[in-house]
A and B are shown apart, each in its own frame.
Chain A
């Protein structure tokens, strides 16, 4: 259940303070966590693990995990310098997670959503079979419940140790997003540092609205690979969120403290549109009474306009 923030720092034996890589100020870990892992001095966004992210976003006590029992297998019996299962085990121990993505339902300011958060600390947030399947289940849950889907991305790309199977997760997650679009259910991604490779070239860039955190590296091919293979000189801001925004690849950059509010605003406005397009949803929502406040009011107004007789409409 929710808000178990696993104290990774202590397990890894790192000191209580951490230096900001941007402004070099020494920051107290506890205070940094309280500030959502954003540097007090310069606003540098530190990486946030999946659990901590859920804790930052979800309303207290509303998180319920989906597909938590899925675990990686080793279909190719992959062995490089170390066997793949050993790498997984280590990642599980280090992060306290069972895979590179954490999926569940929760509320954001009382709004029901399906939320997924990726964790770069788990084998570079790489996408293998389990990440693909958990994403699929998240999308399925969103499509069935008609809750919007929010995915916080952080990934180095496909998981090499699952070979072609991980490449296929790009196709699989794309089909899942297609399924969401058919309903339609709003789908928003939050791209955090770094989001690259197979994730960038599949669901991360297929969202209705793409948000990014400041300074995040977002690209298909990473800067080092580009430098090595094509010997091109890279601009200083290569692949950064700001550069992506300027080149029209993302909708907006939102700093972490504002993220939750902004998500709720965007989803609320998009949901209004869905309610207009699919009348029967109103009925279902009214019955369940799942939403209060201004959204419910707006919904009532729209409904009254479309159905002046006041009788429940039948399909």
Chain B
């Protein structure tokens, strides 16, 4: 293409050929979805301890799984709230490099899940409601974690949550990464902050496996349907919490207030039901999840 004064077609051509490619594939990459992924992972986004600090007048952290170690990637403890007590358990990421490393980027090891179980059972013993805050790229993929039974640690946490007879609420506050996130989310109510994501696999890994190209992460993110609005449509979550203008990272205090109001409302609702009924409804809810065809009919 000769570059003549006044004639600049190169950019136009690139744009049009890109558009042709998109139309040809029948799908368009929606920036909107990827923005959410980036917001969910925003380095200034409030983490569990930020919410706890803003939401509760007091918090006593309880540590250790009594079996092996204390996992800094999962925190938990007793929080006071309008004169009553809530057991809060959540993934915790670090803000600066040192903290990030110490918190293992919010990726729990088996001892983290076993600590979560210990705390939830403790709450159940004294009739204390449980709030879980979810924000993890996933359970830690490591040799030692496997040797200590990462799979079993997650499944037994799921079982622990399936059995709890106190009201349970979970909020996905950032990244809901696969089984490592779900382990804390088998609750009566599952809520999601507007700009958080929840997925069976990270878009990057999904792209690497299915598209054989991790550069297709944006397309994978869109295909996986991991935004709060889509998950509400699929009836996977029970509610979406709006974030302060521009995202939760802009205003931690307001985000925490929204979360606190939602917690209050949901607990009020849940506490009216008999424990056995609450548990039954929790099971029924998860039982309904899935879409299949039977005798030619599509069932939801």
Contact = CB atoms under 8 A, between A and B. Distances in A.
Contacts of B27: 79
A254 B37 CA distance: 45
Given A71-B294, A178-B159, A202-B155, A165 B206 contact: no
A174 B186 contact: yes
Interface string B256-300: 000000000000000000000000001100110111111100101
Contacts of B152: 201, 205, 249
* Size category of the binding interface on chain A: 35 or more
Interface string B67-84: 000000000000000000
B147 A167 contact: no
Contacts, number: 196
B142 A230 contact: yes
Interface in B135-170: 139, 141-143, 145-152, 154-156, 158-159, 162-163
Contact of B149 (A167, A226, A247): A247
A164 B150 CA distance: 20
Of B143, B145, B154, most A-chain CB atoms within 10 Å: B143
Interface in A199-253: 200-206, 218-221, 225-226, 229-230, 232, 234-235, 238-239, 243, 247-249
Interface stretch (A25-33, A106-114, A129-137, A299-307): A129-137
A204 B151 contact: yes
* Size category of the binding interface on chain B: 35 or more
Interface string A50-87: 00000000000000000001111101101111000000
A271 B293 CA distance: 35
Of A169, A197, A219, most B-chain CB atoms within 10 Å: A219
Of B185, B205, B286, most A-chain CB atoms within 10 Å: B286
Contacts of A165: 234, 236, 289-291
Interface string B83-118: 000000000000000000000000000000000000
B151 A200 contact: yes
B289 A171 contact: yes
Contacts of B298: 73
A81 B159 CA distance: 36
A174 B199 contact: no
Contact of B231 (A161, A164, A204, A235): A164
Interface stretch (B14-22, B45-53, B124-132, B218-226): B218-226
B209 interface: yes
A249 B201 CA distance: 25
A179 B159 CA distance: 11
Contact of B146 (A79, A81, A130, A219): A219
Interface in B188-244: 198-201, 205-206, 209-212, 220, 223-226, 231, 234, 236
Interface secondary structure of A, over-half rule: helix
B178 interface: yes
A273 interface: no
B179 interface: yes
Interface in A154-197: 158, 160-172, 174-179, 196-197
Given A129-B291, A163-B226, A75 B211 contact: no
Of B146, B159, B226, B282, most A-chain CB atoms within 10 Å: B146
Interface in A132-160: 132-133, 136, 158, 160
Contact of A206 (B155, B201, B220, B286): B155
A221 B236 contact: no
B141 A172 contact: no
Contacts of B199: 163-164, 167
Contacts of B26: 79
Contact of B142 (A79, A172, A232): A232
A116 B293 CA distance: 20
Interface string A20-45: 00000000000000000000000000
A52 to B, nearest CB: 25
A44 B287 CA distance: 38
Nearest to B279: A178
Contacts of A201: 139, 150-152, 154-155, 158, 179, 183
A104 interface: no
A164 to B, nearest CB: 5
B287 A136 contact: yes
A225 B141 contact: yes
In order of increasing CB-CB distance, the 9 nearest A-B pairs are A129-B290, A200-B151, A221-B141, A80-B210, A75-B291, A201-B154, A220-B151, A168-B289, A167-B200
20 contacts: A72-B292, A78-B223, A132-B289, A161-B210, A162-B200, A163-B226, A169-B289, A171-B158, A175-B186, A176-B287, A200-B151, A201-B154, A202-B155, A202-B179, A204-B155, A205-B152, A220-B139, A220-B179, A226-B142, A229-B141
Interface of A: 69-73, 75-76, 78-81, 128-130, 132-133, 136, 158, 160-172, 174-179, 196-198, 200-206, 218-221, 225-226, 229-230, 232, 234-235, 238-239, 243, 247-249
